[in-house]
Amino acid sequence: MQHTLTFTGENIHATITVPTNTLLADAAQHAGVDIGQPCGGQGRCGRCAVQVTLGNARRRSTLRLSPEDIAQGFALACQTVVEGDLAIYVGPQEKIERRLTTDRVVAEITVPPDYDYDQVQSIQRVHLDLAPPSLEDQTDDWSRLQTALRTQVKMEKVACSLHLLQTLSDTLRAGEWQVTAVVERNIQQPEMPMRLIEIYPGRVDEYSPLWGAAVDIGTTTITLWLVDLVSGQVKAQVAEYNGQIGRGEDVISRIIYSSKNGGREELRQRVLDTINGLLDTACKRVKVRPEDVMKCSIAGNSTMIHLLLGIPAGNIRLSPFITSVNHPPLLIGSEVGLAIHHEGTVDCLPGVASYVGADITAGVLSSGLEDSENVTLFIDVGTNGETVLGNRDWMVTCACSAGPAFEGAGVLNGMRATTGAIEEVWINSESLEPTYRVIGGGKPKGICGSGLISLLSEAFLTGVIDKAGNVNLSAKTKRVREGSHGGEYVVAWGTETETGEDIVLSRVDVDNLLRAKAAIYAGFTVLADTVGVPLESTSRGLVGGSVGKYINVEKAVQIGLLPDMEWSRFEFLGNTSVKGAYYALLDWRRRERIGDIARRMTYIELSADNSFYDAFTSALFLPHTDMTRFPSVAQALDKT
């Protein structure tokens, strides 16, 4: 029996007649409608989803489609056969990709609904109306300002720097005794003196922005959010590789470098340069000056905080692993060397121990783990591979050296998740030809973390590499070849790329990725074992990290980075550390909770016995030596 199929979509209008049981993908091809099938028509990738708006089609496989998708008529062209006349809508690629049930995209950042600037923000901007002095009123300028603060805005005991005193008289007179003061208050201990940060002549619109910055100093990537403290909104988000990378990829190398002559100062300068550069970029974006930023909250691992503050970090790596300070006091911009307002507050968030820093305490806060009733697993896919397991009653944490591979560093063609980064790859299991998606849509420059995750998974599933990561040089494709570092797979030929050079996945890259994922997996499995909580009993898996804008959970499971739980149990939180810093920047109560988290968290030293090493070698395989831990991957392998 013959059926008539009508394809519509952007620039698509085609009609064709085909017999019963024709594959939708074949029908489309005959009709001249291009539906991409990156996985080679095996129903693996879900990229060929179309919407059947009218008529009967039989879906052989609904993998990748949610019940809602099916209710809306979505079907995979490569897995669906014609059983009647059909009207088919072919949506734009980008939309289809985002439909994948496996994708976890970072939620847009929103201002906490309970944010009340007046109540919870430590930085306050107040308008003061001073009585001008006269021969009768001989009060000095500073006392006059203090009186106004006390009587008009109830600010007792305000301290002030010499620099402000030097400019005070001019400011007061320039504003004709109308001034706007920026004051830092200590909400928790109101009896403590407040600190005058800045005083402007005249009156400022009370709803105009007051600037703050939330910063995460990652070992590999530094992220900065520029925040309007009045509305609480994030106005700019910027990130850059940490300028210290050239002096070592991991914290240990940095510590050792810092212990050398001049090394500490050099590393301090490098991280300051990166942060100040980011500050500049972010400020330019919203057309303000860095010195308009009045407060900066900083998260980062203990080493990064020590190096930022120029504090010797040597003892962090040597037994018994003691930091100089876990909980630095409030500092000001000029003494730290940040290009924010020279009197602006610098708040370095508290950490737990040498290898569990403020990045994790802040991350735990923003992930909501410390508040959850059920046991939750929080995995930071970062250079130090920190993991936290627990709930509102207890929390344990560990760190393991995963290296920077998932942030795109230390990988031949790796890059950060910015324009030009390949963020997703599919390999056709027959032809071994790849299809990839580039952030920004232009020519690729390299591969970011999420791209590396999907590339590794695809290379493994299609047999380009074996379970040990060896590149299969006998694979029948010219994309597999002997490179300068052993076997490699060409993802993009030079003719397609921004640089004109081939983009490849080399054996060394595979090893780095394997080691990174094995360290992270081993970290949380040993952690769970140590406290005697089976991993399966965790209700949620929260994933943080700078891998990209999204993470494909299925791919991350397939390479054995994440445990094989239902995909729906995972949430991708992106950079949780900067988010925690953002919360701390806004709200002193949340800032206090980070301190509380630091006190409650129990650190587990993984190197205490052999179990970590054992778990690590066991995880140094795709997806894992123990396949029973990855039933869904075993299934996927059977299918390909």
> Amino acid identity of 158?
V
> Considering only residues 51, 61, 147, 253, which one is a binding residue for another protein as defined by CB under 8 A?
253
> Considering only residues 604, 623, 633, 636, which one is a binding residue for another protein as defined by CB under 8 A?
604
Could you give the CA distance from residue 368 to residue 183 in angstroms, rounded to a whole number?
Answer: 31
Omega before residue 623 within 30° of 0, cis? yes
3-class SS of residue 200: strand
Distance in Å, CB of 67 to another protein, minimum: 34
Region binding another protein by CB under 8 A among candidate stretches 7-15, 173-181, 215-223, 527-535: 527-535
Does the protein bind another protein through residue 609 (CB under 8 A)? yes
- In the block, which residue shows the tokens 């729906």? 568
Distance in Å, CB of 532 to another protein, minimum: 3
For another protein, the binding residues in 112-171 under the rule CB under 8 A are none
Structure tokens at 76: 């995979």
Nearer to another protein, 134 or 628 (CB): 628
> Considering only residues 396, 498, 549, 569, which one is a binding residue for another protein as defined by CB under 8 A?
396
For another protein, the binding residues in 423-482 under the rule CB under 8 A are 466-468
Does the protein bind another protein through residue 610 (CB under 8 A)? yes
Could you give the CA distance from residue 210 to residue 226 in angstroms, rounded to a whole number?
Answer: 10
User: For the stretch 395-416, what's the b/e string if a residue is b when 16 or more beta carbons lie within 10 angstroms of its beta carbon?
Assistant: bbbbbbbbbbbbbbbbbbbbbb
> Considering only residues 173, 342, 531, 632, which one is a binding residue for another protein as defined by CB under 8 A?
531
Nearer to another protein, 493 or 603 (CB): 603
Looking only at the bridges linking them, the beta strands covering 540-544 and 570-574 are: parallel
For another protein, the binding residues in 347-366 under the rule CB under 8 A are 352
* Cα atoms found within 13 Å of the Cα of residue 175, Cβ hemisphere only: 22
Could you give the CA distance from residue 271 to residue 255 in angstroms, rounded to a whole number?
Answer: 14
Task: Give the sign of the dihedral formed by CA 217, CA 361, CA 192, CA 325.
Answer: negative
Spatial contact of 86 and 5, defined as CB atoms under 8 Å apart: yes
Nearer to another protein, 142 or 621 (CB): 621
Distance in Å, CB of 467 to another protein, minimum: 6
Could you give the CA distance from residue 406 to residue 518 in angstroms, rounded to a whole number?
Answer: 12
Does the protein bind another protein through residue 261 (CB under 8 A)? no
Degrees to nearest 5, angle at CA 272 with 270 and 276: 125
Nearer to another protein, 159 or 627 (CB): 627
Does the protein bind another protein through residue 486 (CB under 8 A)? yes
Nearer to another protein, 123 or 522 (CB): 522
Q: Output Rg (C-alpha) for the chain, integer angstroms.
A: 28
Nearer to another protein, 498 or 511 (CB): 511
Nearer to another protein, 474 or 495 (CB): 474
Which residues sit at the interface with another protein, rule CB under 8 A? 252-253, 256-257, 317-319, 352, 393-396, 401, 466-468, 486, 508, 511, 530-533, 599-604, 607, 609-610, 613-614, 617-618, 620-621, 625-628
